[in-house]
Amino acid sequence: MAPKFQGVDFYDVDALLSEEERAVRDTVRAWVDDNVIPVIGEAYVAGHFPTQLVPGMAELGLFGANLPEEYGCAGLDNVAYGLIMQELERGDSGLRSFASVQGALVMYPIYTFGSEEQKKQWLPQMASGKVIGCFGLTEPDFGSNPSGMLTLARETKAGWVLNGAKMWITNGSTAHVAVVWAKTGAIDDPESIRGFLVPTNTKGFSAKDQKGKLSLRASDTSELVLQDVHVPTEALLPQSAGLKSPLLCLTQARYGIAWGAVGAAMACYDEAVSYAKNRLMFGKPIGGFQLQQARLAEMLTEITKAQLLCLQLGRLKDQGKATPQQVSLAKRNNVNMATEVARETRRLLGANGILAEYQAMRHLANLESVYTYEGTHDIHTLILGQEITGISAFG
């Protein structure tokens, strides 16, 4: 059995956490060690999300953990929330994706743009894991540029009728409810984009698994088709207004990803150190050779920088001061960093590095998706470019 994860904390970042934040982190860390690490390699190879883990995650209060207790959520601060994402992604990006989508992309828009009735109806059920959600923004021809979406919602006497297709939707086939973003006005008017809560058993709604994924294999990714889907007036998220609404949700999810990526990097670094100390070649541990020491030193340096970045971002978020551009910088840096750490670990492990029995290759393959979703690395570069120069590369 693999030894328990001891953490990676070269700069005593622990000392900067509150007692509650440490306790949350330690609880999720132990849960991941006991429940995720033993099964995730097999689930990944088999290509399915380990649904048996959902009740345990709900019991620990991991869904929408930074939303208020009055709706059945844990009411934690954003640093504790980030630490949860870190530990989940230490297990697997698919697990963190599941929690990100449930909390940041479905519960958050219900909380932020929903009516009181919608919040009471959906949030407690989602916090308890009895209802699973998905978030439909991306379309086959509109990924980085969601403003061009073709999905339409037309008002009728009884409510709305939705038509369109969404692509690459995490939790799409397992979800009970989908947050669907659609234009309610002219096709060239992103200001008319609004969010709808669509139960997935509504007539005309279908979800099809995305087959052939070589990344995020322990995650459900689907294509959604909406063909004359009739929903009542109450399905509309009343406070949603324009492209800015889904983008606000993305800021929440990107924040969690910035922390999650650190978890994946920590898992890989831990594996690399252990392997370097134990693998003998040319009569001594490979960790005794300068080339491998340089690899490990680089990994530890980058992880430490990313940890400090996350912590300060979380503190800013708790003060209501974090900007979307600061979140972009963290998502962009940390995911790239984690991808490099996973790649270097895979290489350090030699042939063993390609096996599912070890973690590095799985994390590396996962992180290629994380690099692309929630705004590709390039898109975050351009968001920062606009912030720096005041000139948009998109318009």
> Which of the listed partners (ligand FAD, ligand TGC, none) does 378 bind, with a CB threshold of 5 to 8 Å by partner kind?
ligand FAD
Residue 97 binds ligand TGC, judged by CB under 6 A: yes
CA–CA dist 151, 192 (Å, integer): 11
Q: Hey, which residues between 129 and 148 contact ligand TGC (CB under 6 A)?
A: 135, 137-138, 144-147
Q: Smallest distance, Å, CB 191 to ligand TGC?
A: 8
Residue 28 structure tokens: 């999720």
Residue 5 DSSP symbol: P
In contact, 224 and 206? CB cutoff 8 Å = yes
CA–CA dist 71, 120 (Å, integer): 7
Q: Which is nearer to ligand FAD, 144 or 278 (CB)?
A: 144
Q: Hey, which residues between 244 and 273 contact ligand TGC (CB under 6 A)?
A: 244, 247-248, 250-251, 253
Q: Smallest distance, Å, CB 170 to ligand TGC?
A: 4
> Which of the listed partners (ligand FAD, ligand TGC, none) does 345 bind, with a CB threshold of 5 to 8 Å by partner kind?
none
Residue 284 binds ligand TGC, judged by CB under 6 A: no
CA–CA dist 231, 341 (Å, integer): 46
> Which of the listed partners (ligand FAD, ligand TGC, none) does 147 bind, with a CB threshold of 5 to 8 Å by partner kind?
ligand TGC
Residue 57 binds ligand TGC, judged by CB under 6 A: no
In contact, 149 and 164? CB cutoff 8 Å = yes
Q: Hey, which residues between 163 and 192 contact ligand TGC (CB under 6 A)?
A: 170
**Which positions are annotated as active-site residues?**
374
> Which of the listed partners (ligand FAD, ligand TGC, none) does 243 bind, with a CB threshold of 5 to 8 Å by partner kind?
ligand TGC
CA–CA dist 197, 118 (Å, integer): 9
Chain centre distance of CA 318: 19
Minimal CB distance residue for ligand TGC = 97
Q: Are strands 284-285 and 133-136 parallel, antiparallel or unpaired?
A: unpaired
> Which of the listed partners (ligand TGC, ligand FAD, none) does 251 bind, with a CB threshold of 5 to 8 Å by partner kind?
ligand TGC
CA–CA dist 28, 56 (Å, integer): 10
Q: Which is nearer to ligand TGC, 121 or 184 (CB)?
A: 184
CA–CA dist 32, 54 (Å, integer): 12
Binding site for ligand FAD (CB under 6 A): 101, 135-138, 143-144, 168-170, 216, 221, 369, 372-374, 376, 378-379, 382, 394
User: Other C-beta atoms within 10 Å of 313: how many?
Assistant: 25
Q: Which residues pair with 153 in a beta bridge?
A: 162
Residue 170 structure tokens: 């995490």
Q: Which is nearer to ligand TGC, 47 or 146 (CB)?
A: 146
Q: Which residues pair with 221 in a beta bridge?
A: 170
User: Contact region for ligand TGC (CB under 6 A) — 76-84, 295-303, 313-321, 369-377?
Assistant: 369-377
Question: In sequence order, which residues have a C-beta less than 8 Å from that of residue 194 and are 6 or more positions away?
Answer: 153, 181, 182, 184, 236, 237, 240, 241, 245
Q: Smallest distance, Å, CB 182 to ligand FAD?
A: 12
CA–CA dist 266, 342 (Å, integer): 9
Residue 128 structure tokens: 């308890």
Residue 100 binds ligand TGC, judged by CB under 6 A: yes
Backbone angles phi, psi at 281, to 5 degrees: -150, 140
Residue 307 binds ligand TGC, judged by CB under 6 A: no
Longest dimension (CA), the chain: 80
Residue 241 binds ligand TGC, judged by CB under 6 A: no
Q: Which is nearer to ligand FAD, 307 or 328 (CB)?
A: 328
Q: Which is nearer to ligand TGC, 47 or 324 (CB)?
A: 324
Q: Which is nearer to ligand FAD, 39 or 382 (CB)?
A: 382
Residue 373 binds ligand TGC, judged by CB under 6 A: yes
Site for ligand TGC, rule CB under 6 A? 97, 100-101, 135, 137-138, 144-147, 170, 243-244, 247-248, 250-251, 253, 324, 373-375, 379, 383, 394
